[in-house]
Amino acid sequence: MIIADQPVDWARALESIKTSVNPHIGSGKVADYIPALACVDPNKFGLAVALDRGDMHCLGDADESFSMQSISKVFTLALTLKQIGDELWKRVGREPSGSPFNSIVQLEAEQGIPRNPLINAGAIVTTDHLISAYGGGETGADQAMADLLQLFHRLADDDNISIDRHVAKSESDAGSRNRALAHFMTSFANMANPVEATLSAYFRHCSLAISCRQLARAALFLAFDGTDPVTGEQIVTKKRCRRILAVMMSSGHYDNSGDFAYRIGLPGKSGVGGGILVVAPDHGTIAVWSPGLNRAGTSMVGSIALEELVRQTGWSVFG
Binding of residue 61 to ligand GLN (CB under 6 A): no
Q: Find the binding residues for ligand GLN in span 278-307 (CB under 6 A).
A: 297
Do the beta carbons of residue 245 and residue 77 sit within 8 Å? no
Binding of residue 271 to ligand GLN (CB under 6 A): yes
Q: Is 45 helix (H, G, I), strand (E, B) or coil?
A: coil
Binding of residue 178 to ligand GLN (CB under 6 A): yes
Binding mask 221-260 for ligand GLN (x = CB under 6 A): ----------------------------------------
Q: Is 262 exposed, middle or buried (0-12, 13-18, 19+ CB in 10 A)?
A: exposed
Nearer to ligand GLN, 291 or 297 (CB): 297
Nearer to ligand GLN, 230 or 296 (CB): 296
Do the beta carbons of residue 283 and residue 315 sit within 8 Å? yes
Those residues whose C-beta lies under 8 Å from the C-beta of residue 44, and which sit 6 or more positions away, are 60, 61, 64, 66, 274, 289, 290, 291
Residue type, 232: G
CB-based closest residue to ligand GLN: 70
Would you give the end-to-end CA distance of the chain in angstroms?
8
Binding of residue 181 to ligand GLN (CB under 6 A): no
Nearer to ligand GLN, 45 or 101 (CB): 101
Q: Find the binding residues for ligand GLN in span 194-223 (CB under 6 A).
A: 206
- 260 vs 187: CA distance, rounded Å: 34
What is the rounded radius of gyration, in angstroms, for the C-alpha atoms of the chain? Answer: 18
- 279 vs 284: CA distance, rounded Å: 6
> Cβ 293 to ligand GLN, closest distance in Å?
9
Binding of residue 170 to ligand GLN (CB under 6 A): no
Nearer to ligand GLN, 120 or 227 (CB): 120
Nearer to ligand GLN, 69 or 198 (CB): 69
- 73 vs 163: CA distance, rounded Å: 14
Binding of residue 162 to ligand GLN (CB under 6 A): no
User: Residue-wise over 168-178: b if at least 16 C-beta within 10 A, else e?
Assistant: bebbbeebeeb
Binder of ligand GLN out of 102, 143, 186, 237 (CB under 6 A): 102
Binder of ligand GLN out of 66, 101, 221, 315 (CB under 6 A): 101
Instruction: Please report, as ranges, the residues that interact with ligand GLN according to CB under 6 A.
Output: 69-70, 101-102, 120, 171, 178, 206, 271-272, 297
